[in-house]
Amino acid sequence: MATERPSIDRTAVEAFQEQVFEAALGTFTTYALYLGSRLGYYDALADAGPSTSDELAAATGTDERYAREWLEQQTVVGVLTCENPAADLDARRFSLPTAHTTVLTDPDNPDYLASLPRTVVGALSPIDGVADVYRTGEGIPYEAFGEDMHEGQAALNRPLFATELGAEWLPSLTDVDERLRAGGRVADVGCGHGWSSIAIARAYPEATVHGIDADAASVERARENAAASDAGDRLSFTHADAADVAGSYDLVTAFECVHDMSDPVAVLSTMRSLALPDGTVLVMDERVGESFAPDAGPVEEFMYGWSVFHCLPVGMVDDGVGTGTVMREETLRAYATDAGFSGVEVLPIENEFFRFYRLTL
């Protein structure tokens, strides 16, 4: 006798099918945004205004047929507009709306987000390796995620550091602000491409800033970026494991990197030793909920996306602790305690994505 199958809620099935379909559409849009930035299409449209596929292809050194397909796809998904959709193929003119121009073409603007698709593409690039480590429990080195991930991530935080780090976040710490204005010393651990270090050096002309990162390529890019700044010899970078660094500093920082570390306790312990007895250790990391909740919302959904594909694999390297992007406050407090700190203060700095911790020596 055949087993009777349970009844299926068709409404629920169709709703989930729609969710999967929308996710696929979003993936295609993300990659098309990446393609438009990589090929210079957005910059060309911003410079030239309404353009035909021939004009865009000529301006960017690309093929007209491919350019035309991309233009039409971008119009259908709402990124571009077409002023004469009924015209012949070679006569249609496509535009980048003014509101979209800042988001896609101005890397110094706080509204800039073209770096986000690039970072997503980079995070997904070693997908075969990610599937493998899910089976083995091993990790994937940071450098394996490639230039798109590294450049995209640096560009994602660059406007925030440039506009808020030295203008709002550090000035809110009165004692830190006073010491840096008087010529204090800063160690920026996990500095990446150097935008946080550069922002501090620009905001405090008397301070000396030393950026430290374990990724050699990132340190090289940080030096290149610093060369274009006006900080001179007040700004330097070292390629080293943060756990092996020595020195004495008024301020020791770690911006959005503790959750990626294989051994965060060792690094935090080093940060503690780098700070002067009356110095400050400042950590910025993801603003996630106090505990797991299925209805946590889009920010936590966003963080879990990074964790599944990038941050957890990176944090599992060398038998790492595997913190993952969703590092909750209690986890950071436990790491700080194990590293020898006497306490952790959550600072009243408002940001949708980041939480700020002052670790008590």
**What is the full per-residue pLDDT of the chain (361 aa) written as tens digits?**
556 677 889 999 999 999 999 999 999 999 999 999 999 999 999 999 999 999 999 999 999 999 999 999 999 999 999 999 999 999 999 999 999 999 999 998 999 999 999 999 999 999 999 999 999 999 999 999 999 999 999 999 999 999 999 999 999 999 999 999 999 999 999 999 999 999 999 999 999 999 999 999 999 999 999 998 877 789 999 999 877 888 999 999 999 999 999 999 999 999 999 999 999 999 999 999 999 999 999 999 999 999 999 999 999 999 999 999 999 999 999 999 999 999 999 999 999 999 999 999 9
Distance from C-alpha of 314 to C-alpha of 219, rounded to nearest angstrom = 18
Q: 240-255 burial by CB neighbour count: b if 16+ within 10 A, else e?
A: eebbebeeebbbbbbb
Architecture label for domain 120-360: 3-Layer(aba) Sandwich (3.40)
Region 10-105: CATH code: 1.10.10.10
345: burial class by Cβ within 10 Å (0-12, 13-18, 19+)?
exposed
178 C-beta neighbours (distance < 10 Å), count: 11
Cite the DSSP H helix spans in 39-110. 41-48, 53-60, 64-76, 98-105
Residues carrying CATH 1.10.10.10, the chain: 10-105
Tell me which residue of 288, 278, 287 sits closest to 252, measured CA to CA.
278
**Backbone φ, ψ for residue 106 (5° rounding):** -120, 90
Residues carrying CATH 3.40.50.150, the chain: 120-360
Instruction: Note the pTM of the prediction, 2 decimals.
Output: 0.92
179: burial class by Cβ within 10 Å (0-12, 13-18, 19+)?
buried
Distance from C-alpha of 33 to C-alpha of 28, rounded to nearest angstrom = 9
